[in-house]
């Protein structure tokens, strides 16, 4: 063996789990829906990052909405107490 050609990679073993099965199912569905005519997968990191940002933005908005609802309830209670005192 004078030279070695190619690349050898090792990957960690991922034990079978419900999360792994869900991921494989989603990945299979995603790749099947995005196959080009030549058989390649038409996925890019921009789309993945865009979806991730959208999910984070939605989660932030939901958190802010819950905070505003709690503040509204608190203020409503305080106003009611003040009105009773008048």
The predicted pLDDT at position 58 comes to 92
25 Cα distance to chain centroid: 16
CA distance 41 to 35: 5
Q: Determine, yes or no, domain membership for 69.
A: yes
In a domain, 4, yes or no: no
Give the count of domains, the chain.
Answer: 1
Planar angle of CA 10, 1, 13, nearest 5 degrees: 10
Q: Which domain holds residue 26?
A: 18-85
Give the pLDDT of residue 39. Answer: 67
- Output the tens digit of pLDDT for each of the chain's 86 residues: 566 677 777 777 888 899 888 988 888 887 777 676 666 666 666 666 777 888 899 999 999 999 999 888 888 888 888 888 76
Half-sphere exposure in the Cβ direction for 85 (13 Å, CA): 6
DSSP H or E segment with residue 21: helix 18-33
């Amino acid at each position: 063996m004078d030279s070695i050609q190619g690349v050898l990679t090792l990957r960690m073993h991922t034990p079978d789990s419900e999360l792994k099965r869900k991921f494989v199912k989603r990945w299979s569905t995603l790749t099947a829906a995005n196959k080009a005519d030549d058989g390649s997968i038409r996925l890019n990191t921009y789309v993945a990052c865009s979806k991730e940002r959208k999910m984070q933005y939605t989660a932030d908005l939901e958190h802010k909405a819950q905070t505003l609802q709690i503040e509204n309830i608190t203020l409503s209670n305080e106003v009611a107490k003040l009105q009773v005192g008048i």
